[in-house]
Structure 1
Amino acid sequence: MKQATQQQPSISVVITTYNRPDALEAVVEACFMQDDKNFEIIIADDGSTANTRDTIDCLRARSPLPLKHVWQPDDGFRAAMARNRGTLAATGNYIIFLDGDCVPQRDFIARHRALAKPGFLVSGSRILLSQALTERVLREHIDVAALSLLERLRYRLRGDMNKVLQTMLRWPDLGRERRTFSWRRIKSCNLAVWREDLDKVNGFDESFVGWGHEDSDLVVRLFHAGVLRKDGAMATEVLHLWHREARRDEESSNRKVVLQRAADKTVQATRGLREHAGEAPFTPPAS
């Protein structure tokens, strides 16, 4: 009896951004230097000004990969909508969501590809960089993903990185699958989901107001739709550039929505991918 072959993913990396072109450039440059270059980049822009468009145009001109820019007008925090539009612009059957301030290591794509399995999402993790190190990285265009172990240990001892061994060790694909749902360490800044599973739940829910828990909501609904979780720790870590904390005025109410949906076993987003069907793309602002 023949064994079923595992589906091989065609990968699209959807990078969310908003008015931080220097960080975005560092992230995209790190994507250009991946060991595995068989993927495309979709920049999902939540209303940035012309500075970001100019940066993206320069990156596209020297990109070794297909690179698209999907922009929407600035109308408050609408990361869920930006990710949905990025998903709709993607051609891959496997979507890796990455934030525009999270620098991937060289094997980020290769490790995500190795962990991809139908019926599962992969939740990655992040290493936090200090404000001082972030400012230096962006000012001096330091390739932070290429730092040596000695340099990383030095930054860890100084308090400029909150973890270091996770960037160097690689845990084999063993014991990663979780058969029960957990919210722990779910971050849409580093999250991989099959496109067909996103379609199944109607993507991110754009009805969430303000910052917080739209990523948890997605994973709750995916779990109710039968999608399980694999842990990407010690495999897919990204280096998270420092930024000021976003306003969290709506975090408590958003969490209550997720808790209710967990109890109700909600699957479908109130407003998501399907609501953008046939929509004409917006044009980013010119200089």
Structure 2
Amino acid sequence: MSKPQIAIVLSTYNQPEWLKKVLWGYANQQFKDFEVIIADDGSTAETKTLIESMRPELPFEVTHVWHEDNGFQKTIILNTAIKAANAEYLLFSDGDCIPRNDFVAVHAAHREAGYFLSGGYFKLPMDISKAITQEDIAQQRCFDVAWLKAQGLKSSFKNNKLTTNAAKQKFLNWITPTEATWNGHNSSGWLSDILTANGFDQRMQYGGEDRELGERLFNAGLKAKQLRYTAICVHLDHPRGYVKPEMLTKNAAIRKTTKTQKLTRTAYGLAAEKA
């Protein structure tokens, strides 16, 4: 059996209803040569049950990697997912981000040696997040601004993120003041580059843990392509009870060291070099 071109790594933690909608999103992709690896940071059996029940209806291979719940350990389970990947190119997103049907195709089309790709997301309020059905995803209504406004979405410049006009996408990507960084909800890169960087720093918890990998890739000479208005996914709302100030402080210190010492590799990653 041939290897898929792309491995999609989805992080999740106790959000089976959101994960179900996200998997429906990947079932409707235009580009189909991919596998999905679910990086599960300690969810209860409900998530495993959902994945097993959906396997027969999904047109792609699903690998579920899991470890016991011991607080926010996303970086550790992401590294486990990287080890499970069969593809040479990895696309990272979250189990609460529904991809538009051209999402994987956009990443596939823009991949290039010496680069990683940086996309964004479009945040939805809770009521619309709950209202989205399988049919809404199949018909792509949840990416249509007119439909979303009919559900109560407020007018905003950010609604331009959902544009399907290629020229407008290119212009907005060019003018955006947002830097192209490694964003855990929408970034992709070559497995070889990620392995050279030794994956995610497993000391890091919530707050910039994804961007720190990108900062090491930058230090190694890679560049980033801005796909903020091109690679589109909608983010389903949820509370963030796991955020603690000490996590942010620790992560900021690690990122500062990465930047000041221009580190290209972590000693606390895929291949553990330090205890």
- TM class, shorter-chain normalised? 0.7 to 0.9
Query: Is 1:203 matched up with 2:199?
Result: yes
The alignment's TM-score, normalised by the length of structure 2, stands at 0.87
Query: Is 1:143 matched up with 2:136?
Result: yes
- How far, CA to CA, are the matches of 2:41 and 2:257 in structure 1? 28
Q: After superposition, where does 1:258-277 map in structure 2 within 5 Å?
A: 258-275=255-272
Counterpart secondary structure, 1:77: coil
- How far, CA to CA, are the matches of 2:202 and 2:61 in structure 1? 27
Structure 1 residues 27 and 266 mapped into 2: Cα distance closer, same or farther (>3 Å)?
A: same
Q: Which runs of 5+ in 1 are unaligned?
A: 1-8, 277-287
Q: Which residue of 2 aligns with 1:279?
A: none
Query: Is 1:31 matched up with 2:26?
Result: yes
Q: Which runs of 5+ in 2 are unaligned?
A: none
- How far, CA to CA, are the matches of 1:48 and 1:60 in structure 2? 18
After superposition, give the CA deviation of every residue in 1:179-225 in whole Å (9 maximum; x if it has no partner).
xxx856642111101100001110011011x3111111101111111
Q: Which residue of 2 aligns with 1:4?
A: none
Counterpart secondary structure, 2:11: strand
Counterpart secondary structure, 1:73: coil
Contact 1:16–1:83 (CA<8 Å) still a contact in 2?
yes
Name the % identity.
Answer: 30
Counterpart secondary structure, 2:271: helix
Query: Is 1:253 matched up with 2:250?
Result: yes
Counterpart secondary structure, 1:118: coil
Residue in structure 1 matching 2:16, options 18, 21, 24: 21
- How far, CA to CA, are the matches of 2:156 and 2:61 in structure 1? 32
Residue in structure 2 matching 1:239, options 234, 243, 248: 234
Q: Which residue of 1 aligns with 2:65?
A: 70
Query: Is 1:133 matched up with 2:160?
Result: no
Structure 1 residues 177 and 205 mapped into 2: Cα distance closer, same or farther (>3 Å)?
A: farther
Counterpart secondary structure, 2:71: coil
- How far, CA to CA, are the matches of 2:55 and 2:172 in structure 1? 36
Contact 2:10–2:94 (CA<8 Å) still a contact in 1?
yes
Q: Which residue of 2 aligns with 1:214?
A: 209
Contact 2:181–2:214 (CA<8 Å) still a contact in 1?
no
Counterpart secondary structure, 1:164: helix
After superposition, give the CA deviation of every residue in 1:77-115 in whole Å (9 maximum; x if it has no partner).
011111111111011111000100000000001111111
Structure 1 residues 162 and 66 mapped into 2: Cα distance closer, same or farther (>3 Å)?
A: farther
Contact 1:125–1:185 (CA<8 Å) still a contact in 2?
no
- How far, CA to CA, are the matches of 1:275 and 1:41 in structure 2? 25
- Higher-helix-fraction structure: 2
After superposition, give the CA deviation of every residue in 1:107-152 in whole Å (9 maximum; x if it has no partner).
0011111111111000110000001111222xx5563471144213
Query: Is 1:119 matched up with 2:89?
Result: no
Aligned residues: 261
Q: Which residue of 1 aligns with 2:187?
A: 191
Q: Over aligned residue pairs, what C-alpha RMSD do you find?
A: 2.6
- How far, CA to CA, are the matches of 1:110 and 1:116 in structure 2? 10
Counterpart secondary structure, 1:117: coil
Q: Which amino acid aligns with 1:54?
A: T
Q: Which residue of 2 aligns with 1:168?
A: 163
- How far, CA to CA, are the matches of 1:175 and 1:163 in structure 2? 14
The alignment's TM-score, normalised by the length of structure 1, stands at 0.83
Structure 1 residues 206 and 183 mapped into 2: Cα distance closer, same or farther (>3 Å)?
A: farther
Alpha-carbon distance, 1:161 to partner: 8.1
